[in-house]
């Protein structure tokens, strides 16, 4: 067991040094009623593969609850419990606090048990944001909250959430004769929000299952470092995004190569970029967003104007933000210049 | 469950001047709870303030978490309970409502959380005085519900609550209702037993095969459909039925260990044996009613009170026995149920339903009184008894529900 | 018959809009003869998932009373016509856990009709379709399975062809003229579509099926526990941990016995174990954990679990090492690795022939790029509307050389 600076023991989970060193055991196995090519299911598999058997998983309402357990069944090998839509934060906190109390009083054998609570973009960034925020302030309890983002309320047959991209087609934002775009909100920057707002949360990261080993190593880091931690995963969704399931892996890569979804981690306040995102920060040109957007039926109605707008917003993230891709803070002169131009 | 033997009784107890909330905090310390979550709302939260002091002074070792809202507050302890922690929570009024999504799932998940509901009017209209609707909202869902009316009863009932809720034959959540202000905030002499006695009465919480832990790999609450839900509800039905016997066992054991406590767990009968008029109510409404009854008895009027302790499971058989002999029954609801049969209160309708198949069905009058913290006065009680006496004479009650104490 | 009950069995999401058009089309066509009808999806199927079999229903009756007999139900007890819009579904339908594998013709009335879109010969289909304890008719419309997705629809006239065929099967409820009229009134209707419906009416092929014909296998089923047999607290046991494959090497996970998922497949991966470079990418990228790890470091896709998404083919860096092939080519869920180990040369021969057949490797699984469906339809119309042209290779085809 590792003693961390907070006196909480955690498991010591070493990073996998390459794909061939990844452990073979599956703690989330076959037999779940997910879509063909469901990247969120892949995230579940990789998440608990990284965490190992001494783990308790809490799953809030969403695809990874309903699809995995339809009906009265399970693909989970480790203990798993459902929790309410907005409760991933409270489930993580309650489970960790319960275990800690019992171990502290000698009512249960003391050992570090991973506590992971997951939520979708709807349950995490909309309804459950408050509860997650509260949990990230409790440095005395170890937990990982993993937000799997398929960019909609997918389980209820695709409605827009606070993390749905601008203009996307959902059942709450159908392109129509009078309004081509109903959803004009820009995606919330959740990982940045969590990192910026919770000074005692030691680890926040973004991941994508297309980069599986990196994802698993970040999960391991989160579980080893101690205290409450947060990971945001982008999951291409063949049902909601409307594409041939075999493209799931490729779309994950494209999201990063276009700069739409940055891969980074914030550990004790230090930002570190990963993979193709690091290349972008170092100057490699980003692929144009149209390469990614037009491979998905949910953007089939986009005009050149829409594509241009989308590209402009993504350009901003990399060209204007003080910490590119992470938080929308700007240097004074850039903001001043913007005022003058007005 | 081993039956504890009685030893010395009251002399080992400590005497304290404490409120209902503080009495509950004493019990929680004796019960060695593991996790408690707090969120401020009046009037229940005095219990959380009392627990905070206990923890700060080292009298109680527990995780004390201040949540950011009641939904999270209750969800946190729900999950702590599933890994085997003994938990406590509570709220009042609309705070309890904010937790509703959690309250509805704890019975099917068989989570034995013990909660204090400091009964408070639902606002708007803003008021933090007593009304019973907040706790009553969960009455169909599988919660055990009881009402207390003294600090002593608060202390004793909290210990009994853990004993009953955490019994594997039951494993249901339990809410103890305490009238806001009158019980939560006023202090009375209360006997607090020593820990050794409590340990003989209250076993450890053992979640058994339902424990969420890597050594017991289970999936809890997979998505179910029409092929499974009615079976799950039927299990809850059975558990609630079993709770009846478990409650009686617990009270009998309580008397043996602590040397005090009621013979009848379900309700308190005050001068009801030979009463011609019996009033029925829950909570601290009993106090002005008892005062009124003593005055009436002095004048030769045979009036009695049945103060209901347990609302769920509802003791319908015993109540019928206790009430059948009266010439008229007056139910005083400190709650409302708009549009219900006879536009009555909740308790009145449940008692009417309980009496439906009885051989003798005395006329039943329904009163609504004391809402939003309005005092129930002697005048109110006298009015109610007058109307009951008229009904007893004529043998018939009018079907109207009477609202007492309203300015009109 | 005073009521006509139809079910559409289809691939969830890929054919959701198709099924909705069919069942609504049936009700609106029958309305032309002043009948009453209802159209509905099966509640338990939702939320639908890509590829997982689902059902929609259309019920048409002479009177409102007869119609009412079939309302407030999840699923009719029997149907007159089972419409199957992907012929790989004829191997059986497993829609959720504890459902078991249900034959495609389970609800079909004795002497009812199983209507399918398929390019396969009758005899091939009857190897897959389970035996029924009553005779029925098998009717075929010669067409590819029509797949699109939630937002962009492929207007390949499948729904009108089905309606045209139904006019031949149940003429007393839907005349061809009524169908034509209803199509013209639809938002998605046109004269060209009416012509397709009429062509389907003319070209429909039908054959009687005897009780001796069909797949003799008894599909798996489950018995549900009673309320007092179920563990309390809505808890069920977790799946046990897996085991090594052989001699302490490799790994085979334990899998959920109540939901296997293989009936979700329209295509399955065919693996060349000789050219595999053991990069581990297929194994790690599979969302369904269906790859068993072999003692020699290669990976065997377990056919009881594979749902045919194709991600493995997309990520495999070796050309032709993993190739998705239409499910209709296969007769069982046997292990490819075991077959290869037993007879490597024979397996290679079989593999080369199988993945070389353009007809069965063509992929039509939904949206890939804007304008794709128009292009495909243009090609198909130009080539006569029935022939399958060269297939669309995997998106990473240009990166597949090692």
Q: CATH number, domain at B355?
A: 3.40.50.920
| A29 CA: distance to closest CA in chain B (Å) | 13
The CB density around residue A34, as the number of other CB atoms within 10 Å, is: 29
Question: In angstroms, what CA-CA distances link A141 with A134, A219, A265, B81?
Answer: 12, 17, 21, 16
pLDDT of residue C231: 95
Question: In angstroms, what CA-CA distances link A213 with A20, A148, B191, B371, C274?
Answer: 10, 17, 62, 62, 26
pLDDT of residue A34: 98
CB pairs under 8 A between A and B: 153
A 83-142: CB under 8 A from C: none
* Residue span of the structural domain in which A101 resides: 2-341
Q: CATH number, domain at B59?
A: 3.40.50.970
Question: In angstroms, what CA-CA distances link B202 with A47, A238, B208, C332?
Answer: 40, 54, 17, 59
Mean pLDDT of A181-193: 96
Q: CATH number, domain at A52?
A: 3.40.50.970
- The position carrying tokens 């131009």 is A341
pLDDT of residue C2: 86
| C69 CA: distance to closest CA in chain B (Å) | 20
Report which secondary-structure segment, H or E, holds B296: helix B286-298
Interacting residues of B236 by C-beta distance below 8 A, sequence separation 6+: B107, B108, B142, B172
Chain C residues with CB inside 8 Å of B224's CB?
234
C302 to chain A, any CB pair closer than 8 A? The answer is: yes
Distance CA B161, CA B147 (A): 12
pLDDT of residue C378: 75
Contact between A33 and A71 under an 8 Å Cβ cutoff? The reply is no
Cβ distance C367 to A300 less than 8 Å, yes or no, reads yes
Distance CA A69, CA A83 (A): 13
Residue B74 domain flag:
yes
| Nearest residue, CB atoms, C233 vs list B109, B230, B231 | B109
Query: Which has the closest alpha carbon to A113: A122, A126, A100?
Result: A100
Cβ distance A105 to B34 less than 8 Å, yes or no, reads yes
Chain C residues with CB inside 8 Å of B228's CB?
224, 230
Query: Which has the closest alpha carbon to A70: A43, A32, A37, A27?
Result: A32
Mean pLDDT of C204-232: 97
A45 to chain C, any CB pair closer than 8 A? The answer is: yes
Count how many residues are written for chain A.
Answer: 342
- The position carrying tokens 């489930």 is A91
Chain B residues with CB inside 8 Å of A54's CB?
214
Chain C residues with CB inside 8 Å of B210's CB?
231-233, 235
Cβ distance B231 to C233 less than 8 Å, yes or no, reads no
pLDDT of residue B151: 92
Residues B75, B210 within the same domain: yes
pLDDT of residue C29: 96
Cβ distance B221 to C235 less than 8 Å, yes or no, reads yes
Residues B253, B362 within the same domain: no
Count how many residues are written for chain B.
Answer: 408
Q: Tell me the per-residue pLDDT of A209-220, one tens digit each, with 9 for 90 and over.
A: 999 999 999 999
Report which secondary-structure segment, H or E, holds A143: strand A143-149
Cβ distance C228 to B235 less than 8 Å, yes or no, reads yes
The total of structural domains in chain A comes to 1
Chain A residues with CB inside 8 Å of B65's CB?
93, 97, 138
Cβ distance A37 to C50 less than 8 Å, yes or no, reads yes
C243 to chain A, any CB pair closer than 8 A? The answer is: no
Chain B residues with CB inside 8 Å of C230's CB?
228, 231-232, 235
Complete domains list, chain C, with CATH: 3-209 (3.40.920.10), 262-399 (3.30.70)
Task: Take residue B390 and report the two structure tokens written for it.
Answer: 């008229």
Residues B235, B192 within the same domain: yes
Q: Tell me the per-residue pLDDT of B279-297, one tens digit each, with 9 for 90 and over.
A: 999 999 999 999 999 999 9
C238 to chain A, any CB pair closer than 8 A? The answer is: yes
The total of structural domains in chain B comes to 2
C72 to chain B, any CB pair closer than 8 A? The answer is: no
Cβ distance B232 to C230 less than 8 Å, yes or no, reads yes
Cβ distance C150 to A240 less than 8 Å, yes or no, reads yes
Cβ distance C235 to B231 less than 8 Å, yes or no, reads no
Query: Which has the closest alpha carbon to B239: B135, B144, B114?
Result: B144
SS3 of residue B93 by DSSP: helix
| Nearest residue, CB atoms, B34 vs list A54, A55, A98 | A98
Residues B251, B272 within the same domain: no
Residue B178 domain flag:
yes
Query: Exposed/middle/buried for C341, CB within 10 Å: 0-12, 13-18, 19+?
Result: middle
Half-sphere exposure for B381 (CA within 13 Å, toward CB) = 24
Write b or e for each residue in C377-386: b if 16 or more Cβ atoms lie within 10 A of its Cβ, otherwise e. Answer: eeebeeeeee
Residues B215, B307 within the same domain: no
Residue B324 domain flag:
yes
pLDDT-derived band of residue A6, with 50, 70 and 90 as boundaries?
very low
Contact between C154 and C373 under an 8 Å Cβ cutoff? The reply is yes
Mutate to test the interface with C, among A25, A30, A33, A43 (most CBs of C within 10 A): A30
Average pLDDT of chain C is 92
Mean pLDDT of A133-153: 98
Distance CA B56, CA A89 (A): 26
C238 to chain B, any CB pair closer than 8 A? The answer is: yes
DSSP code, position A209: T
Residues B31, B133 within the same domain: yes
Cβ distance B77 to A70 less than 8 Å, yes or no, reads no
Residue B308 domain flag:
yes
Query: Which has the closest alpha carbon to B135: B110, B112, B114, B118?
Result: B118
Whether pLDDT at B123 is above 80? yes
| Residue that wins the pLDDT comparison between B81 and C70 | B81
Mean pLDDT of B300-324: 97
Task: Take residue C330 and report the two structure tokens written for it.
Answer: 């296969």
Which chains, if any, share at least 3 CB pairs under 8 A with chain C? A, B
- The position carrying tokens 């609800």 is C107
Q: In the beta sheet, which residues pair with residue C93?
A: C102
Distance CA B368, CA B383 (A): 12
Task: Take residue B11 and report the two structure tokens written for it.
Answer: 């002399």
Distance CA C316, CA C297 (A): 15
Residues B216, B364 within the same domain: no
Contact between C126 and C135 under an 8 Å Cβ cutoff? The reply is no
- The position carrying tokens 């079907």 is B399
Residue B2 domain flag:
no
pLDDT-derived band of residue C396, with 50, 70 and 90 as boundaries?
very low
Q: What is the distance between the terminal CA atoms of chain A, rounded to a whole angstrom?
A: 58
Residues B127, B45 within the same domain: yes
CB pairs under 8 A between B and C: 55
Q: Tell me the per-residue pLDDT of A304-340, one tens digit each, with 9 for 90 and over.
A: 999 999 999 999 999 999 999 999 998 877 667 777 6
Residue B1 domain flag:
no
Cβ distance C284 to A22 less than 8 Å, yes or no, reads yes
Q: Tell me the per-residue pLDDT of C281-323, one tens digit each, with 9 for 90 and over.
A: 999 999 999 999 999 999 999 999 999 999 999 999 999 999 9
Q: Tell me the per-residue pLDDT of C225-250, one tens digit each, with 9 for 90 and over.
A: 999 999 999 999 999 999 999 999 99
- Helix, strand, coil proportions of chain C in percent (round to 5)? 30, 20, 50
Residue B335 domain flag:
yes
Query: Exposed/middle/buried for C142, CB within 10 Å: 0-12, 13-18, 19+?
Result: middle
Q: Looking at chain B, which residue has its C-alpha nearest residue A108? A: B84
Task: Take residue A115 and report the two structure tokens written for it.
Answer: 């506590």
SS3 of residue B151 by DSSP: helix
Average pLDDT of chain B is 94
C 108-167: CB under 8 A from A: 149-152
The CB density around residue B399, as the number of other CB atoms within 10 Å, is: 12
Chain C residues with CB inside 8 Å of B222's CB?
234, 236
Query: Which has the closest alpha carbon to B207: B220, B223, B197?
Result: B220
pLDDT-derived band of residue B5, with 50, 70 and 90 as boundaries?
very low
Q: Tell me the per-residue pLDDT of B236-282, one tens digit each, with 9 for 90 and over.
A: 999 999 999 999 999 999 999 999 999 999 999 999 999 999 999 99
Of B258, B288, B313, the one marking the end of a domain is B258
Residues B144, B243 within the same domain: yes
C231 to chain B, any CB pair closer than 8 A? The answer is: yes
| Nearest residue, CB atoms, C98 vs list B108, B218, B227 | B227
C365 to chain A, any CB pair closer than 8 A? The answer is: yes
Residue B290 domain flag:
yes
Residues B235, B188 within the same domain: yes
Query: Exposed/middle/buried for C310, CB within 10 Å: 0-12, 13-18, 19+?
Result: buried
Distance CA B153, CA B309 (A): 10
Pairing of strands A203-208, A264-267: antiparallel
C300 to chain A, any CB pair closer than 8 A? The answer is: no
Chain C residues with CB inside 8 Å of B168's CB?
none
Chain B residues with CB inside 8 Å of C229's CB?
none
Residues B284, B205 within the same domain: no
Query: Which has the closest alpha carbon to B90: B13, B3, B184?
Result: B184
Average pLDDT of chain A is 95
Distance CA B281, CA C15 (A): 61
* Residue span of the structural domain in which B137 resides: 10-258
Q: Tell me the per-residue pLDDT of B348-383, one tens digit each, with 9 for 90 and over.
A: 999 999 999 999 999 999 999 999 999 999 999 999
Residues B144, B275 within the same domain: no
Cβ distance A91 to B79 less than 8 Å, yes or no, reads yes
Phi and psi at A86, nearest 5°, equal: -100, 20
What percent of chain B clears pLDDT 90, i.e. is strictly above it?
Answer: 90
Query: Which has the closest alpha carbon to B178: B270, B113, B115, B261?
Result: B115
Chain A residues with CB inside 8 Å of B82's CB?
81, 95, 98
Chain B residues with CB inside 8 Å of C242's CB?
none
Distance CA A30, CA C261 (A): 8
| A252 CA: distance to closest CA in chain B (Å) | 29
Q: Looking at chain C, which residue has its C-alpha nearest residue A170? A: C151
Contact between B130 and B166 under an 8 Å Cβ cutoff? The reply is no
Write b or e for each residue in A254-276: b if 16 or more Cβ atoms lie within 10 A of its Cβ, otherwise e. Answer: bbbbbbbbbbbbbbeeebebbbb
Mean pLDDT of C256-284: 97
| A83 CA: distance to closest CA in chain B (Å) | 8
Sheet strand arrangement including A264-267: A270-273, A264-267, A203-208, A228-234, A143-149, A114-120, A55-60, A80-83, B218-220, C235-237
Question: In angstroms, what CA-CA distances link C347 with C267, C272, C273, C328, C333?
Answer: 19, 9, 10, 18, 15
| A101 CA: distance to closest CA in chain C (Å) | 23
Sheet strand arrangement including C205-209: C36-41, C53-61, C3-11, C79-84, C108-117, C136-141, C205-209
Q: Tell me the per-residue pLDDT of A40-90, one tens digit each, with 9 for 90 and over.
A: 999 999 999 999 999 999 999 999 999 999 999 999 999 999 999 999 999
């Amino acid at each position: 067991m590792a003693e961390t600076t907070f006196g909480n023991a955690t498991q010591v989970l070493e990073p996998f040094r390459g794909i061939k060193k990844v452990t073979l055991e599956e703690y989330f196995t076959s037999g779940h009623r997910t879509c063909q090519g469901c990247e969120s299911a892949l995230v579940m598999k990789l998440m608990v593969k990284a965490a190992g058997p001494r783990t308790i998983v809490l799953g809030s309402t969403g695809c990874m609850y309903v699809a995995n357990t339809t009906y009265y069944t399970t693909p989970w090998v480790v203990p798993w419990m459902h929790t309410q839509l907005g409760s991933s934060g409270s489930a993580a906190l309650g489970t960790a606090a319960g275990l800690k109390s019992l171990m502290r009083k000698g009512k249960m054998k003391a050992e570090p048990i991973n506590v992971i609570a997951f939520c979708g973009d709807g349950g995490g960034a909309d309804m459950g944001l408050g509860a997650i925020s509260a949990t990230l302030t409790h440095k005395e309890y170890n937990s990982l909250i993993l937000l799997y983002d398929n960019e909609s309320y997918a389980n209820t047959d695709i409605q827009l959430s606070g993390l749905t991209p601008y203009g996307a087609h959902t059942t709450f934002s159908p392109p129509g004769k009078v309004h081509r775009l109903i959803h004009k909100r820009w995606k919330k920057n959740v990982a940045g929000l969590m990192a910026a707002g919770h000074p005692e949360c030691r680890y926040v990261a973004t991941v994508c299952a297309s980069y599986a080993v990196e994802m698993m190593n970040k999960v391991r880091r989160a579980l080893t470092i101690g205290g409450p931690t947060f990971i945001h995963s982008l999951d291409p969704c063949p049902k909601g995004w409307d594409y041939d399931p075999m493209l799931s892996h490729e779309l994950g890569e494209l999201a990063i190569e276009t700069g739409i979804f940055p891969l980074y981690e914030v550990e004790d306040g230090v930002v570190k970029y990963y993979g193709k995102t690091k290349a972008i920060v170092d100057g490699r040109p980003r692929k144009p967003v149209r390469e990614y957007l037009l491979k998905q039926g949910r953007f089939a109605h986009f005009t050149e104007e829409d594509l241009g707008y989308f590209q402009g917003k993504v350009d901003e993230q990399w060209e204007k933000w003080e910490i590119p891709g992470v938080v929308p803070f700007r240097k004074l002169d850039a903001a001043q210049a913007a005022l003058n131009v007005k | 469950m081993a039956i504890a033997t009685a030893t010395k009784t009251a002399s080992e107890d400590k005497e304290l001047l404490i409120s209902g909330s503080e009495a509950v905090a004493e019990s929680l310390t004796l019960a060695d709870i593991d996790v408690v979550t707090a969120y401020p709302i009046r009037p229940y939260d005095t219990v959380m303030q009392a627990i905070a002091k206990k923890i700060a002074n080292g009298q109680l070792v527990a995780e004390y978490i201040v949540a950011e809202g009641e939904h999270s507050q209750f969800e946190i302890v729900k999950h702590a309970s599933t890994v085997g922690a003994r938990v406590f929570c509570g709220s009042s009024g609309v705070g309890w409502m904010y937790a509703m999504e959690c309250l509805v799932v704890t019975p099917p998940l068989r989570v034995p959380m013990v909660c204090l509901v400091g009964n408070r009017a639902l606002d708007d209209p803003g008021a933090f005085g007593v009304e019973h609707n907040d706790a009553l909202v969960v009455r169909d869902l599988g919660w055990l519900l009881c009402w207390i009316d003294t600090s002593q009863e608060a202390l004793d009932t909290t210990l009994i609550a853990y004993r009953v809720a955490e019994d594997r034959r039951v494993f249901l959540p339990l809410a103890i209702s305490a009238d806001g202000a009158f019980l939560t905030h006023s202090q009375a002499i209360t006997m607090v037993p020593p820990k050794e006695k409590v340990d003989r009465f209250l076993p450890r919480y053992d979640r058994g095969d339902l424990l969420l832990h890597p050594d017991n790999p289970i999936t809890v609450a997979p998505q179910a459909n029409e092929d499974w839900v009615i079976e799950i509800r039927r299990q809850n039905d059975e558990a609630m039925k079993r709770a009846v016997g478990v409650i009686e066992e617990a009270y009998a054991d309580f008397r043996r260990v602590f040397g005090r406590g009621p013979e009848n767990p379900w309700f308190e009968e005050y001068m009801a044996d030979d009463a011609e008029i019996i009033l029925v109510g829950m909570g601290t409404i009993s106090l002005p009613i008892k005062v009124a009854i003593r005055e009436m008895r002095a004048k030769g009027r045979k009036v009695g009170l049945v103060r209901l302790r347990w609302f769920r499971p509802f003791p319908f058989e015993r109540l019928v026995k206790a009430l059948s002999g009266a010439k008229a029954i007056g139910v005083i609801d400190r709650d409302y149920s708009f549009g219900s049969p006879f536009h009555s209160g909740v308790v009145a309708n449940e008692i009417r339903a309980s009496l439906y198949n009885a051989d003798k069905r005395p006329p039943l009058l329904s009163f609504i009184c004391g809402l939003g913290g309005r005092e129930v006065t002697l005048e109110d009680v006298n009015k109610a008894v007058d109307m009951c006496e008229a009904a007893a004479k004529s043998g018939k009650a009018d079907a109207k529900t009477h609202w007492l104490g309203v300015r009109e | 018959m005073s009521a006509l009950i139809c079910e559409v069995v289809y691939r969830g999401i890929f054919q959701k809009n198709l099924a909705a058009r069919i069942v609504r089309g049936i009700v609106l066509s029958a309305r032309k003869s002043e009948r009453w009808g209802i159209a509905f999806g099966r509640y338990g199927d939702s939320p639908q998932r890509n590829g997982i079999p689902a059902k929609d229903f259309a019920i048409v009756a002479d009177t409102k009373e007869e119609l009412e007999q079939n309302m407030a139900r999840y699923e009719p007890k029997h149907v007159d016509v089972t419409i199957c819009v992907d012929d790989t579904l004829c191997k059986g339908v497993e829609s959720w856990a504890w459902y078991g594998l249900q034959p495609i013709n389970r609800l079909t009335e004795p002497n009812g009709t199983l209507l399918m879109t398929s390019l396969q010969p009758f005899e091939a289909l009857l190897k897959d379709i389970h035996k029924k304890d009553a005779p029925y008719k098998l009717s075929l419309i010669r067409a590819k399975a029509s797949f699109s997705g939630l937002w962009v629809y492929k207007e390949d006239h499948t729904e009108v062809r089905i309606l045209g065929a139904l006019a031949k099967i149940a003429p007393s409820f839907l005349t061809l003229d009524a169908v034509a009229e209803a199509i013209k009134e639809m938002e998605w209707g046109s004269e060209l579509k009416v012509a397709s419906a009429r062509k389907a009416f003319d070209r429909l092929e039908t054959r009687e099926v005897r009780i001796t014909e069909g797949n003799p296998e008894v599909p798996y089923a489950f018995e549900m526990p009673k309320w007092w047999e179920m563990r309390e607290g809505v808890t069920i046991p977790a799946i046990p941990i897996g085991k090594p494959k052989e001699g302490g090497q490799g790994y085979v996970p334990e899998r959920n016995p109540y939901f296997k998922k293989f009936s979700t497949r329209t295509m399955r991966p065919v693996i060349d174990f000789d050219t595999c470079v053991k990069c581990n990418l297929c194994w790690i990228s599979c969302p369904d954990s269906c790859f068993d790890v072999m003692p020699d470091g290669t990976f065997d896709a377990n056919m009881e679990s594979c749902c045919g998404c194709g991600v493995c083919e997309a990520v495999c860096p070796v050309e032709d090492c993993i190739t998705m092939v239409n499910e209709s080519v296969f007769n069982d869920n046997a292990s490819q690795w075991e077959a290869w180990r037993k007879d490597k040369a024979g397996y290679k021969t079989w593999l080369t022939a199988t993945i070389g057949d353009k007809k069965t490797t063509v992929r039509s699984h939904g949206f890939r790029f804007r304008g794709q469906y128009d292009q495909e339809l243009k090609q198909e119309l130009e080539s006569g509307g029935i022939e399958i042209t060269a297939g669309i290779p995997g998106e990473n085809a240009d990166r597949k050389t090692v």
